[in-house]
Amino acid sequence: MRAFLAVPVEEPALAEVRALLSSLREQIGGVRWTSDDSLHITVHFFGSVSGEDALRAVSLLRHIVSDTSSFAVTLDMLGEFPPRGGPRVLWAGPSGQVDSLDTFARATREALREDGFGVDERPFRPHCTLGRPRERWPAHSRDAWRRIAGGAFNAQFDATRLVLYESITKSSGAVHVPRMELPFTTS
């Protein structure tokens, strides 16, 4: 299965990001927008992994999650990857560092690496994917996105859990199905 670990976006930010997505869908064409029910910040992407290995990874991370207190996340910036050239991902994320999330992601990656899982070596860039522009993204759509991305956006939530998602590819786009979750400690 294709799987990843993520912190789901929660209320009240979830309603704000959903409203943003609704507005973006109306204003900007040529983008495969993310489903409203799968908004998250990826901590680790496994790619293809056996169900047994995914469960082993979650079990391995249980102590890290239980040692992590729930923490505040503010999504106050809209951006794109890569930052230059034609964007492949449009996202919402924190404009500054979220120490608790960064520390958690670093500990998660290190534990997975030590247990033999392949880990992305690039720096962790917390973000919630909003959409993926199509290959021939019209200039007027790109301009509309950049105009909106330059405006104000602020959505806050408390991260309360880590979720193992299975990513199922369908003709309408990927569907992310929660398979297991571990709660952070309540502050």
For the chain, what is the domain count?
Answer: 1
Position 3 scores a pLDDT of 96
**pTM for the whole structure:** 0.94
| Average pLDDT score over residue span 152-178 | 91
At 97, is the secondary structure helix, strand, or coil?
A: coil
Describe the strand order of the beta sheet including 128-133 as a list of residue ranges.
Answer: 31-33, 128-133, 89-93, 77-81
CATH number, domain containing residue 175: 3.90.1140.10
More confidently predicted of 29 and 173: 29
pLDDT band at 124 (very low <50, low <70, confident <90, very high): very high
Which structural domain range is residue 130 located in? 2-183
Is the bond preceding 126 in cis, omega lying within 30 degrees of 0? no
